[in-house]
């Protein structure tokens, strides 16, 4: 797992001062931000209150500077996912030539006192490893990449814990099924979805492109 101790944009600054950042979802568990980091526009000195999952939608280069310390240089790959620990004040800057789009998932609650109990027969990573690849896991989140071919349908599975975020890496048109029935689900790359608490479901890709998303299970 790649971990960084400071990241891009926002933090304790008011949203009005970070016009390239918008809030997609904000609830008691998470705040999900969509950030557009333009080239050579360093942020103000700031810090992040919460630990975050960072999803880089584009490849790019970024410098993170801490007062009195050496500058960190990062090269991000498109769709790279990292864990960013809240902490010291810093300035970040996109030092590449193109815009850098980032989805940030701030985890508002500390780790639970007891770990989640998973049923291995309903764990999506365990029952369908060909379509669900673990990226990393720690005491606050489990993060994996989920793909589905055109017309493909998932096995029934569950997500435990406080809830789960799904961040699309490609356009999606799907039908989500639970015991209560089915509902449509659609969006474009970078869109975020949140389901609170426990859920048992399966989805079918009814679109014209392969489904590709990052799943962040919050413990």
**Beta-bridge partner residues of 4:** 84
pLDDT score, position 19: 42
Q: In what order do the strands lie in the sheet with 72-76?
A: 72-76, 60-65, 91-94
pLDDT score, position 87: 85
pLDDT score, position 13: 42
Separation CA 85–CA 64 (nearest Å): 13
Whether residue 153 sits in one domain with residue 100: no
pTM: 0.90
Structure tokens at 67: 């007062």
Whether residue 95 sits in one domain with residue 9: yes
Whether residue 90 sits in one domain with residue 23: yes
Tell me the residue range of the domain where 177 lies.
124-218
Does any domain span residue 114?
Answer: no
Question: Which three-class secondary structure state does DSSP give residue 164?
Answer: strand
Does any domain span residue 60?
Answer: yes
Structure tokens at 31: 């705040």
Does any domain span residue 145?
Answer: yes
For 124-154, what is each residue's pLDDT tens digit?
A: 999 999 999 999 999 999 999 999 999 999 9
Exposed, middle or buried: residue 136 (CB in 10 Å: 0-12, 13-18, 19+)?
middle
Structure tokens at 133: 């690849």
173-191 average pLDDT score? 97
Whether residue 102 sits in one domain with residue 23: yes
Whether residue 16 sits in one domain with residue 103: yes
Separation CA 94–CA 83 (nearest Å): 18
Backbone Cα Rg of the chain: 18
Torsion on CA atoms 183, 194, 136, 42, rounded to nearest 10: 130
Look up the CATH number of the domain holding residue 201.
2.60.120.10
Domain count for the chain:
2
Are the CB atoms for 7 and 105 separated by under 8 Å? no
pLDDT score, position 3: 54
Does any domain span residue 117?
Answer: no
Whether residue 84 sits in one domain with residue 28: yes
Whether residue 86 sits in one domain with residue 20: yes
The pair phi, psi for residue 120, each rounded to 5°, is -60, -25
Does any domain span residue 146?
Answer: yes
Does any domain span residue 112?
Answer: no
- Which residue, 107, 135, 155, sits at the end of a domain? 107
- Tokens 């017309």 appear where? 151
Whether residue 82 sits in one domain with residue 155: no
For 38-63, what is each residue's pLDDT tens digit?
A: 999 999 999 999 999 999 999 999 99
Structure tokens at 132: 């669900």
- Which residue, 107, 138, 169, sits at the end of a domain? 107
Does any domain span residue 213?
Answer: yes
Q: In what order do the strands lie in the sheet with 163-168?
A: 132-137, 141-148, 211-218, 163-168, 192-196
């Amino acid at each position: 797992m790649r971990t960084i101790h400071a990241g891009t944009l926002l933090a304790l600054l008011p949203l009005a001062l970070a016009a390239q950042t918008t809030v997609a979802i904000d609830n008691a568990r998470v705040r999900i931000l969509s950030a557009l980091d333009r080239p050579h526009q360093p942020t103000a000195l700031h810090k992040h209150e919460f630990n975050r999952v960072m999803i880089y939608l584009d490849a790019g280069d970024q410098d993170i500077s801490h007062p009195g310390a050496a500058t960190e240089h990062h090269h991000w790959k498109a769709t790279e996912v990292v864990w960013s620990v809240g902490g010291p004040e810093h300035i970040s800057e996109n030092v590449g030539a193109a815009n850098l789009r980032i989805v940030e998932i701030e985890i508002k609650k500390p780790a639970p006192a007891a770990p989640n109990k998973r049923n291995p027969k309903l764990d999506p990573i365990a029952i369908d490893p060909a379509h669900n690849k673990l990226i990393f896991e720690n005491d606050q989140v489990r993060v994996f990449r989920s793909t589905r071919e055109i017309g493909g349908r998932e096995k029934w599975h569950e997500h435990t814990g406080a809830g789960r975020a799904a961040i699309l890496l490609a356009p999606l048109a799907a039908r989500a099924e639970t015991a209560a029935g089915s509902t449509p689900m659609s969006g474009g790359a970078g869109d975020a979805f949140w389901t609170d608490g426990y859920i048992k479901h399966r989805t079918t890709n009814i679109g014209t492109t392969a489904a590709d998303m990052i799943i962040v299970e919050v413990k």
